[in-house]
Structure 1
Amino acid sequence: MIGCFGKVPASADFVSLHGAAEEVCEFDAWLQGALSAMQHREDWRELFDRLPVCLFSYRARNGNWLLGGLISSQDFSARRYPFFIFQILKASEAQPLVNPFTLSELFCGQIKPLLHMAAQSESTSVLFERIKALRPLQAQDFELFRRVHDKFLVNFNLRDITRSLEDSYPEFVSNAALTRLQALQQPMQQKSSMAISLPLPAEQGLKNPTADLWINWLTRMKDAGTAPQISVLADDFMRPKLLCFASRSSNGLYRVLTGTGERLENYDVLAPFDAFDEHHRVHAFPEIDRPLYDVIDRFVDALDLKSV
């Protein structure tokens, strides 16, 4: 099922196409909680308006997934709220879903212009017709894009990822990022409500696959092998990033996106370490030139040995 929900300047109230679905109502409540948590600030509207388009992957309580994109918007009376276009995937079709952004890349490429049209006062009738014409994912797509994701993990290595991040994130150092990832094992297993912030390359062809790389990585770090409940790709032109939430209990999305949250709300793998300890034992991380799938395997195996 494909539909939309939210506020647009062309309407005095919420607009909805299949927005009464259980998964959509749940995602809407999560967004409302995140937006409410920022509204104590006098400048929250300006911060909200400046946010980039975000792509999302949301796992509902019934096990189904919601994939799509959202944009900061407002209704005819300038009351702020996002507008989002979504596609619902049944749990039976999508498990395991460790490649949501590769899987939905074509779909999200189609809806981005529609999101901008909505925020720029396009009529709801035109939007609805365009949305109704979108093609839902088919059974064969899941297998195809799993193979695409697996091929990416085989054909690329960590040096490729580091090189792709150089322009947008010159502060990215692979061993420092891996050290911070290593410290995430316990919060991931405990389903901490904090956001995990991970850098993405600005290069279009690598952005979505790298987002899925991080999701795969975090999934492998959890005992149950469960992907993050919510992943949001902030599609900033120069410094895109991925926010992952192990739990739906977080209401920090907009505070983290706007950089106004508390430090404990966001675990940024690029954040500087509190102190330099020259006596700290350096971890033996996998070689940077190994295929990505092998790096993840060795990284997770080392975590398992450490926890025994």
Structure 2
Amino acid sequence: MQYAIFGKLPRRADFIRINASHPAALELDCLIASSLRLMSDTDGWQERFLSAPPSSIFFRSRDGRWSFLGAIRPSQDEAGRCYPLVAGVITAEKTSNSSLASYLLANELFLSGLHEHLTSAMENAVEMLACRQFFEEEHPISASSLADLEPLAQQLMSRYNNCTTVQELEMLLQSETPTGLDHLLLGFAFHAQLLRRFKSSMPAQCFKLPLPSGTGEGILMAATWVGLYQAAIANHDQPPLRGILLFPDVDQRMILAPGDFTEHMMALAFGHDADQSIYIHPQDSNTPWHSNHEWAEASYVIGRQLSNSRLLLSQLHDILNGIAARIS
């Protein structure tokens, strides 16, 4: 386990690299650079970049050996050259889809503190020393602390799922998107089915999901979405999620990438107006699974269950597990 910091600061001319030679940091750096090259072909990209909100990122390396959890702040150097300031921790990849929800929740305070330090560093370059000290002395991500934090996060998720109804989730979803909860959850399951069948032949796409305002509530809802995704693909040998972007404070949304995490998705962190084709639209009748007889059966089952406004999230998990088990 180690930390990495790289990117630009407004009052410095150089490119900052602290522990940034790790393969996972280099891969993320290359992905960010590719996303900026993509954006640079459009007018006004620098203004959009600099006005983009901060984001949190979970990123798995392409070889599956490493994961990066950290914060991203759009920035520039003193000459006005745009590049974000990125900081996070790199761990040997042991986080399965099933444990990712509690992993995110366990690190809520870490991400919040990291964003504060990056804000200070951008306002005063000297504060970068404090950011480095935060990693070396104060950050809660360690083998021993996670051993304590993750069980607590799992308990919190369990209590939340046992007292929260699907109606609350539907209200959040309806306020931001035309997609119904039934279509979204079946989209999780049937898109995963296509990934299993066609693997690298599948086009890289992602889900865009709403979050409530506020960092704490945003992380909890992000963990909830990840948990529901896991329930919808249970009982299958599914490739791990490659990337997650969180925008809890301003845009109140998250990006969830089941397959490849591309420069088009990375550019969403920098205000890029992406083509709608990179998003999975579960409500679209043209999606391939809408003609699948298994989808018709599953749609009937989940539709009937969701008509019960008192249905709890914990019960929904069980329903999704059952549906996932029946999808070939």
Tell me the TM-score range normalised by the shorter chain.
0.7 to 0.9
Shift of 1:39: 1.6
User: Which residue does the alignment assign to 2:314?
Assistant: 293
Q: Compute the displacement of 1:259 (Å).
A: 5.3
Distance 1:152 1:207 in 2: 14
- Partners of 1:289 and 1:252 in 2: how far apart? 39
Q: Closer, same or farther in 2 for the Cα pair 1:4/1:256, shift >3 Å?
A: closer
Residue of structure 2 aligned with 1:252, choices 238, 249, 264: 264
Residue matched to 1:53: 54
TM-score of the superposed pair, with normalisation by structure 1: 0.83
Measured in 2, the distance between the counterparts of 1:225 and 1:157 equals 27
SS at structure 1 position matched to 2:151: helix
TM-score by length of 2: 0.79
- Cα 1:302–1:170 change in 2 (3 A) is closer
Deviations 1:50-104 (A, max 9, x none): 2111111112224332111111011121111111120223334x44532242121
How much does 1:256 deviate?
Answer: 3.9
Matches within 5 A, 1:202-221: 202-221=213-232
Tell me which residue corresponds to 1:23: 24
Q: 1:300 offset after TM fit, Å?
A: 3.9
Aligned residue runs from structure 1 range 1-308, under 5 A: 1-60=2-61, 61-92=63-94, 94-95=95-96, 96-99=98-101, 100-123=103-126, 124-137=128-141, 138=145, 139-164=147-172, 169=176, 173-178=180-185, 180-181=187-188, 183-189=190-196, 190=199, 192=202, 193-222=204-233, 223-237=236-250, 239-248=251-260, 250-257=262-269, 258=271, 260-268=273-281, 283-285=300-302, 286-287=305-306, 288-305=309-326, 307-308=327-328
Aligned length: 300
Counterpart of 2:25 in 1: which secondary structure? helix
Label 1:108 to 1:57 Cα distance change in 2 as closer, same or farther (>3 A): same
Deviation, 1:46, is 1.2
2: CA distance, partners of 1:213 / 1:55: 16
Instruction: Kindly provide the amino acid, as one letter, of the partner of residue 116 in structure 1.
Output: T
- Structure 2 CA distance for aligned equivalents of residues 149 and 226 of structure 1: 23
Report the Cα offset of residue 38 of structure 1.
1.7
More helix by share: 2
SS in 2 for 1:162: helix
The residue type equivalent to 1:77 in the other structure is A
Identity %: 16
The 1:49–1:273 alpha-carbon spacing in structure 2 relative to 1, beyond 3 Å, is: farther
Does the Cα contact within 8 Å between 1:105 and 1:208 map onto a contact in 2? yes
Unaligned runs of 5+ in 1: none
- The CA distance in 2 between the partners of 1:188 and 1:150, in whole Å, is 29
Q: Which segment drifts farther, 14-23 or 123-132?
A: 123-132
